[in-house]
Chain A
């Protein structure tokens, strides 16, 4: 998250993360807020996150663990991009 070339989520961005096995779900939230809802597949979760992010002009991130996030879609306007 300290790597500026990779950037970091900003307020309003959508974050997807996986719950622990065996109940494997993919949770959606906005960065800094609580988990809202879930999907049972990564593809469905990211597809929904992308649709919302496109509408709101924010980015989509996948949180791999407490310290690692990866941007999976970027729709944020350049002047507000992280």
Chain B
């Protein structure tokens, strides 16, 4: 409240979406941007995504090979404060294996509902979504 009354707005939480599927990246950007997040989306192809300043990484855990794990390790090394939301189609055993090997904070199974992702990103980032921007 102090920052707002002084005319200084807190910066938007920055969200990086990494998914091999353009439809998924597009949908997440469309859902998260009006909810007040600064969203960057990219494919998982090398080089590694820039993670400096990223508050939440939304990562497709179904990426081919070990791409998901490599990106998670990169994030943990470069930006340990970044929180991670995994989008997964794995069964619970596969998800548990992936989760215990990296600093995963939340996981949502594909196919997901967009409001669930917005809510999870809001929780992870600590940035509340304005009521008017909430998806139904």
Contact = CB atoms under 8 A, between A and B. Distances in A.
Interface residues of B, number: 15
A37 B110 CA distance: 6
Contacts, number: 47
B89 interface: yes
B113 A36 contact: no
25 contacts: A25-B113, A28-B23, A28-B27, A29-B111, A30-B21, A34-B62, A34-B89, A34-B110, A35-B110, A35-B111, A36-B21, A36-B24, A36-B27, A36-B110, A37-B24, A37-B27, A37-B114, A38-B111, A38-B112, A40-B136, A48-B27, A51-B30, A52-B23, A52-B26, A56-B22
Interface of A: 14, 25, 27-30, 33-40, 48, 51-52, 55-56
